[in-house]
Amino acid sequence: MLGLKQVGMHDNFFDLGGHSLLPTQVLSWVQSAVRLEQPLRALFEAPTVADLAELVEKARQGQQGLPTPPLVVVPRGRGLPLSFAR
């Protein structure tokens, strides 16, 4: 995603040229790879592979997760949120 041949586990995503549009792609890849959804802020709080792996492991152990809110019927007479992303 960064166009680099090699990235170290302690290299900062943003220091390597990551910009604000790429975290959604990175977290989408993480979600498909480990079957675990993380909030968008995760990459900003854990910008290295090592830090992000730690967050994923904590979430797997049930210490931190991102529950999907239930689907509920809402009146259509007002504005609707675009997503439940945090």
Tokens of 73: 């019927």
Q: What is the pLDDT of residues 7-50, one digit of tens each?
A: 888 998 888 888 888 888 888 888 888 878 888 888 888 899 89
3-state secondary structure of 52: helix
Nearest Cα neighbor of 55 from 76, 34, 72, 78 is 34
User: How many Cα neighbours within 13 Å face the side chain of 26?
Assistant: 23
Answer whether residue 84 shows pLDDT above 70.
Answer: no
Residue carrying structure tokens 């990551």: 18
Q: Is the pTM of this model over 0.75?
A: no
Q: Residue 78 — pLDDT band, cuts 50, 70, 90? A: confident
CA 50 and chain centroid, separation: 14
